[in-house]
Structure 1
Amino acid sequence: MNRSAISLGKPASTALVLVACALLGACASVPPSPATPASTAAAPTEKRSVAPSELPSGTMETLHELIDSHQLTELRTTYNGTYGASLLFQSEKLGYFVVLFHAKEFWRVIQTDSYDNAESLYRTFAEQTQSLAKVDLDALRLQAQKAYAERMVALNEQRLQALQHDLTYQQQQARLVAAQQAQAKQQTATLSDDLRTTSSRLDAVKQHIQLLEAQQKNPSLEIPPVAPDPGTGGVAATATSSSTAAAPGATN
């Protein structure tokens, strides 16, 4: 029996089931024709009647039953994000199921006996998964980019704080060095003045030393004149010298 494509989630029509049942019942109730041989007339009664459990059911339910009983072989599967498409083969009946699913839940199921039709349906579903997943993939990529950008912002903010801390420290050190430089310059000027004064004193001391050394090295004996006694004064000295001078004349 050539099965037509059925959309996922839409079970077989109840009317079709009732029609099939009516046709089966009618065929079973038709009496054999007198002209028909006994063997020919008995042929319909030899056909196994269709049990209610074997009546056509919804394609989705049929697919689940076949999967649970391991009667399907996965030929192809395409994943795009949380969407996917699969081509399944029922070797027992040479049938194909083309499935479109989302988040591991069947969304659409189409059953066909034609391999070409199954391949075409599978390609269509695969293309649909690509277009359907584009929004999710874009959102996933943008979310990852946002998280990455936030991490980069945090890292760069830390780097900025570290650089600001380093710059503040460098500026403090620069001010400290500038103050030390100014103090050193002032101290240098003061030391320069002190050095000049000390050098002048040193020169004077050296000159005095050289004078004293020269006096010590002079072999001539020099007796300095006796200084007059401050008590007698210059008059007594004059009288003494006058009397001394007059003594020889008196002798004569």
Structure 2
Amino acid sequence: MLTLLVLTDFSPAADHALQYAAKLAAPGGAHLVLLHVRPSLLSPNALTASSATEEDANTLLRQRLQSLPTGLPASAAVASGEVAAEVAAAVRQREAAVVIVGRPELGPVPDELVHTTSLGLLRHLPCPLLVVPHHAAGAVPPQRALLAVDDQPLPRTPGTTALRPLLGQAALTVAFVADEEVAADPERAFNNARLAGLLAGFGPVQERGFANAEVAAGIADATALVQPDLLVLVARRRSLLGSLFHRSVTAAVVRAATVPVLVLPEHAD
């Protein structure tokens, strides 16, 4: 049985992500694990994170489990420590196929995304991350998906094979975003995506080129045209490190996205 690990801080965005996860899990009978991480006293986030006691957290978790559809396999847990480390440990312990987080409305502050849980986890996760914007709408499971790739070689990632039960055989558009001359050959992107195992679980596939020197802007153009229910990105390790993370395409796209974004992190060698 596929396991989906859903993070919660009991915020409206996290509650929306949980309901999205429940709809995603239901058709394939996946198991939801709802996880709340309380910062340890030594954590740098201890003074700014949720102040819920463990008893309060367990009560709030039970309330959310009761809101789920009857018959959906689900459980909950409370952990204490650094969020990234505890989530990574839970993924390994429970063999989770994907981690799901809610993304609140971020406002106009450019660096605010960097200080939220969602993309910071990518530095540590061995599995894909699904980021669900608070007001995201669209079909669940997805009917249309958009895989955005640029003209750089695709790294080794977890791929989408394990997520087959969640993808619903959605029609997939492979969007090749590059400068005008290179974007004219989208078949190259399609072949790269196929060899990287990024087409598994989807239904009919087509490829399209989008000419734009700015990859994030090109992905926005593709999203506006295709109107997908799910956007799929590959996050290279070098873009998740240090100051590069603040300027990465992944961060820019996830920050602006109006649909759920499935981020496939590059595997460590």
Structure with greater helix percent: 1
TM-score by length of 1: 0.21
Task: State which structure, 1 or 2, has the greater radius of gyration over its C-alpha atoms.
Answer: 1
TM-score by length of 2: 0.20
Structure with greater strand percent: 2
